[in-house]
């Protein structure tokens, strides 16, 4: 195969891969692309509490289930810390609900959170939210991917 044909073929494969990533509603993302999609969707999002904390991807290890014990183990959090489990939809409700008083920026942020929520729902199962600690919290929104790996997002919060 000539060098030119090989380059065109590689370029075609890259375009096909990019199309799959940009079709957020309909594509089940391959594993490496899923992590990038989560990272991209979370970019610029902050979880608002008594402090504003950036949202970033969380990549854990393979596990059989999603539980408080598993999240403590995989995040290397102290075993004695309190762990509160919150329903996935409840966690996202306040982040995705558009209020009457929202301006353009607030609406855009809510739409970004909704997109992130949809990506997690489409590609992960057994989704749960865990708040670890007291007052200064680590928050993990995680589920299991196709390979039973713990995956999702993480952030921090201050709640007094």
Q: Find out whether 28 and 121 touch, Cβ atoms under 8 Å.
A: no
C-alpha–C-alpha distance, residues 81 and 50, integer Å: 20
Tokens representing 107?
Answer: 């609406």
> Tens digits of per-residue pLDDT, 48-73?
999 999 999 999 999 999 999 999 99
pLDDT of residue 28: 45
pLDDT above 50: residue 97: yes
pLDDT at 14 (0 to 100): 40
- Separation between Cα atoms, residue 144 and residue 160, nearest integer Å: 31
DSSP labels, 99-113: PTT--HHHHHHHHHH
- Residue ranges and CATH numbers for the domains of the chain are 3-158 (3.40.1460.10)
Torsion (CA) 42, 45, 51, 53 in degrees, nearest 10: 30
Global pTM value: 0.79
């Amino acid at each position: 195969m000539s060098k030119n044909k090989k380059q065109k073929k590689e370029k075609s494969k890259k375009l096909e891969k990019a199309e799959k990533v940009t079709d957020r509603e309909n594509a089940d993302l391959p594993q490496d692309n899923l992590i990038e999609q989560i990272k991209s969707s979370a970019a610029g999002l902050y979880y608002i509490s008594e402090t504003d904390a950036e949202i970033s991807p969380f990549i854990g290890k393979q596990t059989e289930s999603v539980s408080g014990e598993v999240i403590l183990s995989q995040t290397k959090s102290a075993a004695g810390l309190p762990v509160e489990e919150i329903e996935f939809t409840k966690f996202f409700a306040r982040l995705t609900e558009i209020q009457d008083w929202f301006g353009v920026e607030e609406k855009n942020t809510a739409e970004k959170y909704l997109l992130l929520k949809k990506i997690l729902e489409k590609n992960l199962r057994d989704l749960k939210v865990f708040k670890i600690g007291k007052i200064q919290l680590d928050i993990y929104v995680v589920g299991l991917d196709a390979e039973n790996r713990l995956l999702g997002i993480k952030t921090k919060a201050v709640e007094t």
